[in-house]
Amino acid sequence: MKRVVIGMSGGVDSSVAAYLLKKQGYEVIGLFMRNWDSSINNDISGNPNINDNICPQEKDYMDAKMVCDKLGICLHRVDFVKEYWDNVFTYFLEELKKGRTPNPDVMCNKYIKFDLFVKKAEELGADLIATGHYAKVVDGQLYRAFDKNKDQSYFLAYVNKEIFKKVIFPLENITKPEVRKIAEEIGLSTAKKKDSTGICFIGERNFRKFLSNYLPNQAGDIVNIQTKEVVGRHIGLMYYTIGQRRGLNLGGEHSRSYVVEKDLDNNILYVANGDENKYLYSTKVIINDFNFLTDETIKNCSCKFRYRQEDVRCVVSNISGNTLEIVYDKTRAVTPGQFCVLYDNEKCLGGGIIDKVFK
Protein backbone atom coordinates (compact mmCIF):
# COMPACT_ATOMS: atom_id res chain seq x y z
CA MET A 1 0.00 0.00 0.00
CA LYS A 2 1.44 3.37 -1.04
CA ARG A 3 1.67 6.11 1.58
CA VAL A 4 0.34 9.54 0.59
CA VAL A 5 0.99 12.65 2.66
CA ILE A 6 -1.68 15.27 2.00
CA GLY A 7 -1.59 18.95 2.92
CA MET A 8 -4.55 19.57 5.24
CA SER A 9 -5.57 23.25 5.33
CA GLY A 10 -8.74 22.94 7.38
CA GLY A 11 -10.88 23.68 4.33
CA VAL A 12 -13.40 21.56 2.50
CA ASP A 13 -11.18 20.90 -0.55
CA SER A 14 -8.33 19.20 1.31
CA SER A 15 -10.88 17.42 3.52
CA VAL A 16 -12.60 15.78 0.55
CA ALA A 17 -9.27 15.14 -1.17
CA ALA A 18 -8.14 13.17 1.89
CA TYR A 19 -11.39 11.20 1.91
CA LEU A 20 -11.03 10.31 -1.78
CA LEU A 21 -7.47 9.08 -1.23
CA LYS A 22 -8.65 6.84 1.60
CA LYS A 23 -11.43 5.54 -0.62
CA GLN A 24 -8.87 4.72 -3.34
CA GLY A 25 -6.96 2.53 -0.91
CA TYR A 26 -3.95 4.66 -0.05
CA GLU A 27 -2.39 4.91 3.38
CA VAL A 28 -3.08 8.60 4.08
CA ILE A 29 -1.24 10.91 6.47
CA GLY A 30 -2.23 14.54 6.97
CA LEU A 31 0.21 17.42 7.34
CA PHE A 32 -0.88 20.89 8.46
CA MET A 33 1.39 23.85 7.67
CA ARG A 34 1.61 26.98 9.80
CA ASN A 35 3.05 29.63 7.49
CA TRP A 36 2.17 32.92 9.16
CA ASP A 37 2.36 34.21 12.72
CA SER A 38 -0.96 36.02 13.21
CA SER A 39 0.34 37.88 16.26
CA ILE A 40 2.55 40.08 14.08
CA ASN A 41 -0.54 41.50 12.41
CA ASN A 42 -0.87 43.97 15.27
CA ASP A 43 -0.48 47.56 14.19
CA ILE A 44 3.22 48.50 14.62
CA SER A 45 2.13 51.60 16.51
CA GLY A 46 1.26 49.23 19.33
CA ASN A 47 -2.48 49.33 18.81
CA PRO A 48 -3.85 45.80 19.41
CA ASN A 49 -6.28 45.82 16.48
CA ILE A 50 -8.33 43.12 14.79
CA ASN A 51 -5.67 40.41 14.52
CA ASP A 52 -8.02 37.84 16.06
CA ASN A 53 -9.68 37.41 12.67
CA ILE A 54 -6.55 37.43 10.51
CA CYS A 55 -5.23 34.04 9.36
CA PRO A 56 -7.08 32.09 12.10
CA GLN A 57 -4.72 29.15 11.76
CA GLU A 58 -5.55 27.63 15.10
CA LYS A 59 -9.17 27.34 14.00
CA ASP A 60 -8.03 25.88 10.69
CA TYR A 61 -5.83 23.36 12.51
CA MET A 62 -8.71 22.26 14.73
CA ASP A 63 -10.94 21.87 11.66
CA ALA A 64 -8.25 19.77 9.95
CA LYS A 65 -7.83 17.68 13.10
CA MET A 66 -11.57 17.07 13.33
CA VAL A 67 -11.68 15.86 9.73
CA CYS A 68 -8.63 13.64 10.15
CA ASP A 69 -10.06 12.10 13.32
CA LYS A 70 -13.29 11.29 11.48
CA LEU A 71 -11.42 9.76 8.54
CA GLY A 72 -8.97 7.86 10.74
CA ILE A 73 -5.98 9.82 9.51
CA CYS A 74 -2.98 10.81 11.60
CA LEU A 75 -2.36 14.58 11.41
CA HIS A 76 1.10 16.09 11.79
CA ARG A 77 1.89 19.78 12.12
CA VAL A 78 4.87 21.74 10.82
CA ASP A 79 5.96 25.38 11.21
CA PHE A 80 7.27 27.26 8.15
CA VAL A 81 6.77 30.80 9.48
CA LYS A 82 10.40 31.91 9.03
CA GLU A 83 10.71 30.34 5.59
CA TYR A 84 7.44 31.92 4.47
CA TRP A 85 8.63 35.33 5.66
CA ASP A 86 11.98 34.97 3.89
CA ASN A 87 10.74 33.55 0.59
CA VAL A 88 7.20 34.84 0.17
CA PHE A 89 6.43 37.88 2.31
CA THR A 90 9.80 39.60 1.71
CA TYR A 91 9.37 39.06 -2.04
CA PHE A 92 5.87 40.55 -1.79
CA LEU A 93 7.15 43.73 -0.11
CA GLU A 94 10.14 44.12 -2.43
CA GLU A 95 7.96 43.86 -5.53
CA LEU A 96 5.55 46.48 -4.16
CA LYS A 97 8.46 48.84 -3.53
CA LYS A 98 9.32 48.53 -7.23
CA GLY A 99 5.78 49.53 -8.19
CA ARG A 100 4.99 46.02 -9.43
CA THR A 101 2.07 43.67 -8.79
CA PRO A 102 3.32 40.50 -7.03
CA ASN A 103 1.56 37.17 -6.62
CA PRO A 104 2.54 35.65 -3.26
CA ASP A 105 0.33 32.58 -3.80
CA VAL A 106 2.56 31.49 -6.69
CA MET A 107 5.68 31.89 -4.56
CA CYS A 108 4.06 30.05 -1.66
CA ASN A 109 3.45 27.06 -3.90
CA LYS A 110 7.01 27.16 -5.22
CA TYR A 111 8.92 27.57 -1.97
CA ILE A 112 6.59 26.24 0.71
CA LYS A 113 3.82 23.87 -0.40
CA PHE A 114 5.79 22.12 -3.13
CA ASP A 115 9.28 22.32 -1.66
CA LEU A 116 9.53 22.43 2.14
CA PHE A 117 6.25 20.54 2.49
CA VAL A 118 7.49 17.84 0.10
CA LYS A 119 10.72 17.43 2.08
CA LYS A 120 8.77 17.08 5.32
CA ALA A 121 6.43 14.58 3.68
CA GLU A 122 9.41 12.52 2.57
CA GLU A 123 10.62 12.48 6.19
CA LEU A 124 7.24 10.92 7.00
CA GLY A 125 7.88 8.18 4.46
CA ALA A 126 5.67 9.52 1.67
CA ASP A 127 5.57 7.67 -1.63
CA LEU A 128 3.32 10.36 -3.05
CA ILE A 129 2.25 13.93 -2.22
CA ALA A 130 -1.31 15.29 -2.43
CA THR A 131 -3.12 18.59 -1.93
CA GLY A 132 -6.64 19.90 -2.40
CA HIS A 133 -5.70 22.00 -5.43
CA TYR A 134 -7.89 21.90 -8.52
CA ALA A 135 -5.35 20.71 -11.08
CA LYS A 136 -4.39 17.53 -12.91
CA VAL A 137 -1.17 15.58 -13.42
CA VAL A 138 -0.75 13.21 -16.36
CA ASP A 139 2.57 11.35 -16.67
CA GLY A 140 4.26 13.92 -14.46
CA GLN A 141 2.94 16.86 -16.51
CA LEU A 142 0.69 19.59 -15.11
CA TYR A 143 -2.72 20.07 -16.76
CA ARG A 144 -5.80 22.14 -16.06
CA ALA A 145 -8.46 20.63 -13.81
CA PHE A 146 -11.84 19.47 -15.08
CA ASP A 147 -13.55 22.32 -13.18
CA LYS A 148 -12.36 25.30 -15.26
CA ASN A 149 -14.00 27.73 -12.84
CA LYS A 150 -11.74 26.50 -10.01
CA ASP A 151 -8.66 25.38 -11.96
CA GLN A 152 -5.49 26.40 -10.09
CA SER A 153 -2.81 25.36 -12.58
CA TYR A 154 -2.00 29.09 -12.99
CA PHE A 155 -0.75 29.17 -9.38
CA LEU A 156 1.24 25.95 -9.81
CA ALA A 157 3.17 26.90 -12.95
CA TYR A 158 6.24 28.04 -10.98
CA VAL A 159 6.72 24.71 -9.18
CA ASN A 160 9.77 22.58 -10.06
CA LYS A 161 8.57 20.17 -12.76
CA GLU A 162 10.25 17.19 -11.08
CA ILE A 163 7.85 17.54 -8.14
CA PHE A 164 4.83 16.69 -10.30
CA LYS A 165 6.19 13.16 -10.82
CA LYS A 166 5.14 12.38 -7.24
CA VAL A 167 2.01 14.55 -6.88
CA ILE A 168 -1.66 13.53 -6.85
CA PHE A 169 -4.53 16.00 -7.13
CA PRO A 170 -7.62 14.03 -6.01
CA LEU A 171 -9.97 16.84 -7.11
CA GLU A 172 -8.71 16.82 -10.70
CA ASN A 173 -11.92 15.53 -12.25
CA ILE A 174 -14.69 16.88 -9.99
CA THR A 175 -16.34 20.25 -9.53
CA LYS A 176 -16.55 22.42 -6.45
CA PRO A 177 -20.30 21.78 -6.01
CA GLU A 178 -19.56 18.04 -6.10
CA VAL A 179 -16.87 18.52 -3.44
CA ARG A 180 -19.38 20.27 -1.18
CA LYS A 181 -21.92 17.52 -1.82
CA ILE A 182 -19.46 14.75 -0.93
CA ALA A 183 -18.45 16.57 2.26
CA GLU A 184 -22.09 16.87 3.32
CA GLU A 185 -22.93 13.27 2.47
CA ILE A 186 -20.15 11.85 4.62
CA GLY A 187 -20.69 14.38 7.41
CA LEU A 188 -17.44 16.35 7.31
CA SER A 189 -17.41 19.36 9.62
CA THR A 190 -15.89 21.51 6.85
CA ALA A 191 -18.74 20.85 4.38
CA LYS A 192 -20.16 24.36 4.63
CA LYS A 193 -17.01 26.18 5.70
CA LYS A 194 -16.47 29.39 3.77
CA ASP A 195 -13.58 29.37 1.31
CA SER A 196 -10.64 31.52 2.32
CA THR A 197 -10.31 34.74 0.32
CA GLY A 198 -7.45 37.09 -0.39
CA ILE A 199 -3.83 36.69 0.66
CA CYS A 200 -3.32 34.58 3.79
CA PHE A 201 -1.27 37.11 5.72
CA ILE A 202 -3.80 39.86 5.03
CA GLY A 203 -7.00 37.83 5.18
CA GLU A 204 -10.09 39.97 4.91
CA ARG A 205 -8.68 43.04 6.62
CA ASN A 206 -8.06 46.33 4.82
CA PHE A 207 -5.16 45.91 2.39
CA ARG A 208 -3.95 49.49 2.74
CA LYS A 209 -4.05 49.42 6.52
CA PHE A 210 -2.08 46.18 6.60
CA LEU A 211 0.60 47.42 4.21
CA SER A 212 1.08 50.67 6.13
CA ASN A 213 2.58 48.53 8.92
CA TYR A 214 5.46 47.56 6.65
CA LEU A 215 5.83 50.18 3.93
CA PRO A 216 5.59 53.96 4.48
CA ASN A 217 2.95 55.85 2.53
CA GLN A 218 4.30 58.37 0.04
CA ALA A 219 1.45 60.45 -1.35
CA GLY A 220 1.78 62.09 -4.75
CA ASP A 221 0.00 63.47 -7.78
CA ILE A 222 -2.44 61.65 -10.02
CA VAL A 223 -1.89 62.92 -13.56
CA ASN A 224 -4.06 62.37 -16.61
CA ILE A 225 -1.65 60.97 -19.20
CA GLN A 226 -3.82 62.32 -22.04
CA THR A 227 -4.02 65.96 -20.90
CA LYS A 228 -0.99 66.08 -18.53
CA GLU A 229 -3.12 67.82 -15.87
CA VAL A 230 -3.04 66.93 -12.18
CA VAL A 231 -6.47 65.46 -11.41
CA GLY A 232 -6.01 64.22 -7.83
CA ARG A 233 -3.71 62.76 -5.19
CA HIS A 234 -2.70 59.16 -4.59
CA ILE A 235 -1.80 57.72 -1.17
CA GLY A 236 1.19 55.66 -2.34
CA LEU A 237 1.98 53.95 -5.65
CA MET A 238 2.14 50.51 -4.01
CA TYR A 239 -1.63 50.58 -3.41
CA TYR A 240 -2.52 50.73 -7.11
CA THR A 241 -2.27 48.36 -10.06
CA ILE A 242 -2.57 48.81 -13.81
CA GLY A 243 -6.20 48.76 -14.94
CA GLN A 244 -7.58 49.79 -11.55
CA ARG A 245 -10.53 52.20 -11.50
CA ARG A 246 -12.06 51.88 -8.05
CA GLY A 247 -10.48 53.70 -5.15
CA LEU A 248 -9.05 56.59 -7.17
CA ASN A 249 -11.60 59.02 -5.74
CA LEU A 250 -11.73 61.08 -8.91
CA GLY A 251 -14.97 62.85 -9.70
CA GLY A 252 -16.56 64.59 -12.65
CA GLU A 253 -15.11 63.91 -16.07
CA HIS A 254 -12.38 61.77 -14.52
CA SER A 255 -14.73 59.38 -12.72
CA ARG A 256 -14.11 56.70 -15.36
CA SER A 257 -10.34 56.96 -15.27
CA TYR A 258 -8.09 53.90 -15.09
CA VAL A 259 -4.55 53.51 -13.79
CA VAL A 260 -2.27 53.10 -16.81
CA GLU A 261 1.27 53.79 -15.55
CA LYS A 262 3.42 54.43 -12.47
CA ASP A 263 6.39 56.79 -12.39
CA LEU A 264 8.41 55.72 -9.35
CA ASP A 265 11.15 58.33 -9.84
CA ASN A 266 8.69 61.22 -9.65
CA ASN A 267 6.04 59.44 -7.55
CA ILE A 268 3.30 60.06 -10.13
CA LEU A 269 0.30 57.85 -10.80
CA TYR A 270 -0.88 58.20 -14.40
CA VAL A 271 -4.49 57.62 -15.36
CA ALA A 272 -6.43 57.78 -18.61
CA ASN A 273 -10.13 58.29 -19.27
CA GLY A 274 -12.42 55.76 -20.91
CA ASP A 275 -12.89 52.00 -20.88
CA GLU A 276 -11.13 51.52 -24.21
CA ASN A 277 -8.30 54.05 -23.98
CA LYS A 278 -5.14 52.96 -25.79
CA TYR A 279 -2.94 53.26 -22.70
CA LEU A 280 -4.60 50.22 -21.10
CA TYR A 281 -3.56 47.80 -23.85
CA SER A 282 -0.34 45.98 -24.75
CA THR A 283 0.83 43.44 -27.33
CA LYS A 284 4.21 42.23 -26.05
CA VAL A 285 6.00 41.40 -22.80
CA ILE A 286 9.41 40.23 -21.63
CA ILE A 287 9.21 37.37 -19.12
CA ASN A 288 12.05 36.70 -16.68
CA ASP A 289 12.81 33.54 -14.70
CA PHE A 290 10.47 31.39 -16.78
CA ASN A 291 9.91 27.98 -15.20
CA PHE A 292 9.73 25.39 -17.97
CA LEU A 293 7.36 22.50 -17.26
CA THR A 294 8.06 20.89 -20.63
CA ASP A 295 11.16 19.89 -22.57
CA GLU A 296 9.39 20.69 -25.83
CA THR A 297 10.14 23.87 -27.77
CA ILE A 298 7.49 26.50 -27.02
CA LYS A 299 6.40 28.63 -29.96
CA ASN A 300 2.68 28.98 -30.67
CA CYS A 301 0.45 28.59 -27.63
CA SER A 302 -1.82 30.58 -25.35
CA CYS A 303 -1.10 32.63 -22.24
CA LYS A 304 -2.81 33.95 -19.13
CA PHE A 305 -1.67 37.08 -17.29
CA ARG A 306 -4.21 36.78 -14.48
CA TYR A 307 -5.92 33.85 -12.80
CA ARG A 308 -9.45 34.62 -14.02
CA GLN A 309 -8.42 35.83 -17.46
CA GLU A 310 -9.41 34.01 -20.63
CA ASP A 311 -6.53 32.55 -22.64
CA VAL A 312 -4.86 34.81 -25.19
CA ARG A 313 -3.16 33.42 -28.29
CA CYS A 314 0.55 34.20 -28.40
CA VAL A 315 3.89 33.56 -30.08
CA VAL A 316 6.91 32.84 -27.89
CA SER A 317 10.55 33.62 -28.62
CA ASN A 318 13.35 32.44 -26.34
CA ILE A 319 15.71 35.41 -25.93
CA SER A 320 18.17 33.60 -23.68
CA GLY A 321 17.91 30.93 -21.00
CA ASN A 322 14.80 31.59 -18.95
CA THR A 323 14.00 34.96 -20.55
CA LEU A 324 11.18 34.94 -23.09
CA GLU A 325 9.58 37.47 -25.41
CA ILE A 326 5.86 36.91 -25.81
CA VAL A 327 3.82 38.62 -28.53
CA TYR A 328 0.04 38.33 -28.16
CA ASP A 329 -3.30 39.67 -29.27
CA LYS A 330 -4.05 43.12 -27.84
CA THR A 331 -4.76 42.62 -24.13
CA ARG A 332 -5.90 44.92 -21.37
CA ALA A 333 -4.05 45.83 -18.15
CA VAL A 334 -0.99 43.55 -18.36
CA THR A 335 1.21 44.50 -15.41
CA PRO A 336 4.90 44.11 -14.48
CA GLY A 337 5.34 41.70 -11.57
CA GLN A 338 2.35 39.56 -12.51
CA PHE A 339 2.80 35.98 -13.63
CA CYS A 340 2.40 34.94 -17.23
CA VAL A 341 1.49 31.27 -17.63
CA LEU A 342 1.64 29.44 -20.97
CA TYR A 343 -0.66 26.63 -22.11
CA ASP A 344 -0.90 24.18 -24.97
CA ASN A 345 -4.64 23.59 -24.80
CA GLU A 346 -5.04 21.84 -21.41
CA LYS A 347 -1.34 21.29 -20.75
CA CYS A 348 0.52 23.87 -18.65
CA LEU A 349 3.88 24.70 -20.22
CA GLY A 350 5.23 26.84 -17.38
CA GLY A 351 5.21 30.38 -16.11
CA GLY A 352 7.39 33.38 -15.37
CA ILE A 353 7.39 36.93 -14.04
CA ILE A 354 6.43 39.81 -16.32
CA ASP A 355 9.39 42.22 -16.40
CA LYS A 356 8.54 44.67 -19.20
CA VAL A 357 5.30 45.50 -20.97
CA PHE A 358 5.18 47.07 -24.45
CA LYS A 359 2.11 49.12 -25.40
- In Å, how far are 101, 192, 202, 232, 321 from 228, measured between CA atoms? 25, 51, 35, 12, 40
CA-based torsion, 38, 236, 111, 155: positive or negative: positive
pLDDT band at 44 (very low <50, low <70, confident <90, very high): very low
pLDDT at 212: 83
Does residue 50 have a pLDDT over 50? no
Q: Give the Cβ contact number of residue 173 at 10 Å.
A: 12
Q: Which candidate, 52, 107, 96, places its Cα nearest to that of 211?
A: 96
DSSP category for residue 82: H
108 assigned to active site: yes
pLDDT computed for residue 205 by the predictor = 61
14 and 117 Cβ atoms separated by less than 8 Å:
no
Predicted confidence at residue 46, as pLDDT, reads: 40
Domain 280-358, CATH homologous superfamily name and number? Translation factors (2.40.30.10)
Contacts of 187 (CB under 8 A, 6+ apart): 70
Stronger pLDDT, 130 or 253, i.e. the higher one: 130
Over the stretch 61-87, which tens digit does the pLDDT of each residue have? Answer: 999 999 999 999 999 999 999 999 999
189-232: pLDDT as tens digits: 999 998 876 666 666 567 778 888 888 889 999 999 999 999 99
CATH class in words for 3-185: alpha beta
pLDDT at 115: 97
**All structural domains of the chain with their residue ranges:** 3-185, 217-275, 280-358
- 128-130 sheet: strands from edge to edge: 74-79, 27-34, 3-7, 128-130, 167-168
314 tagged catalytic: no
DSSP annotation string for 9-24: -SSHHHHHHHHHHHHT
Separation between Cα atoms, residue 83 and residue 88, nearest integer Å: 8
Tell me the average pLDDT across 2-25: 97
Section 294-303 average pLDDT: 95
| Strands 3-7 vs 27-34: parallel, antiparallel or unpaired | parallel
Could you tell me which residues are beta bridge partners of residue 220? 234
Q: How many angstroms separate the CA atoms of 323 and 164, rounded? A: 23
Extended beta strands in the chain, E state? 3-7, 27-34, 74-79, 128-130, 136-138, 141-143, 167-168, 220-224, 230-234, 257-263, 268-273, 281-292, 300-304, 312-320, 323-332, 339-344, 347-358
217-275 topology per CATH: SH3 type barrels. (2.30.30)
Beta bridge partners of 259: 271
pLDDT of residue 196: 78
Residue 45 is predicted with a pLDDT of 38
What is the C-alpha separation between 58 and 330, in angstroms, rounded?
46
286 neighbors 295 (Cβ within 8 angstroms): no
DSSP secondary structure string for all residues of 279-315: GGEEEEEEEEEEEE--SSPP-EEEEESSTTPPPEEEE
Residue 270 has pLDDT above 60, yes or no: yes
339 φ, ψ (degrees, to nearest 5): -95, 135
Give residue 158's Cα distance to chain centre.
11
Residue of 55, 68, 74, 200 marked catalytic: 200
Out of 55, 68, 108, 314, pick the active-site residue. 108
